[in-house]
A and B are shown apart, each in its own frame.
Chain A
Amino acid sequence: DAGVTQSPTHLIKTRGQQVTLRCSPKSGHDTVSWYQQALGQGPQFIFQYYEEEERQRGNFPDRFSGHQFPNYSSELNVNALLLGDSALYLCATGSGSHNEQFFGPGTRLTVL
């Protein structure tokens, strides 16, 4: 049983570009949450998807958007990239009835 997977592992973009990150949940999980971890900081909640809808959102601008597919996988899109968007992006997946979640290995985004 594969755990949570994320792709790509690393990504380099320039300011103003757009990026799409992907997350596949652990088998049996239907909820996907995205977090941004800046260097030297703890992860910050971006948003959560359940039943293909955004269920809750943290304090991030509209440049950050997402999607959840019928197979429960999810994408995080960031438009008009800024230097400050450089971070490790983590997804965490779980099932609706339990509060244990599993984190993926993350995608390291560098914006130049």
Chain B
Amino acid sequence: GNSVTQMEGPVTLSEEAFLTINCTYTATGYPSLFWYVQYPGEGLQLLLKATKADDKGSNKGFEATYRKETTSFHLEKGSVQVSDSAVYFCALISDNFNKFYFGSGTKLNVKP
């Protein structure tokens, strides 16, 4: 079956620290992988995506590389800001119906 596992939070960092949020997946077929961000009281915003192995998605300083050999899609950012504080969800689509499978989310707190 299809599933996504994320590292548990919360993750607390100081401003300008390096961020890694781990994400691994199990999927049938050839999934597309996504990172979504959710700010308090809001819906989901697409942060980045990758549709095939070795692709790197990037946006707003965040990056994630689709690693088929390790079934991983870890999110990284070199220097976090207080405004990056949010919940981050890793997700995949692995069928023709574009149904998302989400991880449980990782809350990031960035302190000034």
B97 to A55, Cβ gap below 8 A?
A: yes
Query: Does A72 have its Cβ within 8 Å of any Cβ on chain B?
Result: no
Partner of B49, one of A45, A94, A100, A105: A100
Q: What number of B residues sit within 8 Å (CB to CB) of A?
A: 22
Segment of A14-22, A36-44, A75-83 engaged in the interface with chain B: A36-44
Q: What's the nearest-Cβ distance from chain A to residue B39, in Å?
A: 11
Complex Cα spacing A105 to B43, Å = 4
Segment of B57-65, B75-83, B99-107 engaged in the interface with chain A: B99-107
CB under 8 Å from chain B, chain A span 54-112: 55-56, 58, 88, 90, 92, 94, 99-106
- Chain B residue with the shortest CB-CB distance to A9: B41
- Chain B residue with the shortest CB-CB distance to A88: B43
- Chain A residue with the shortest CB-CB distance to B9: A40
Complex Cα spacing A101 to B98, Å = 8
Q: What's the nearest-Cβ distance from chain A to residue B38, in Å?
A: 9
Query: Does B35 have its Cβ within 8 Å of any Cβ on chain A?
Result: no
Enumerate chain B residues within 8 angstroms of A24, measured Cβ to Cβ. none
Complex Cα spacing A35 to B43, Å = 11
Complex Cα spacing A101 to B104, Å = 19
Consensus secondary structure, chain A interface: strand
Provided the pairs A48-B99, A56-B97, A99-B32 are in contact, do residues A42 and B43 lie with their beta carbons within 8 angstroms? Answer: no
Consensus secondary structure, chain B interface: strand
A106 to B43, Cβ gap below 8 A?
A: yes
Complex Cα spacing A43 to B51, Å = 21
Complex Cα spacing A42 to B45, Å = 13
Partner of A33, one of B36, B89, B98, B103: B98
Query: Does B69 have its Cβ within 8 Å of any Cβ on chain A?
Result: no
Partner of A92, one of B4, B49, B100, B105: B100
- Chain A residue with the shortest CB-CB distance to B41: A108
Query: Does B93 have its Cβ within 8 Å of any Cβ on chain A?
Result: yes
Q: Which B residues lie at the A interface, using CB under 8 A?
A: 4, 32, 36, 42-46, 49, 51, 89, 91, 93, 97-105
The 8 A-B residue pairs with the shortest CB-CB distance, nearest first, are A42-B102, A105-B43, A103-B44, A106-B43, A56-B97, A42-B104, A99-B98, A103-B43
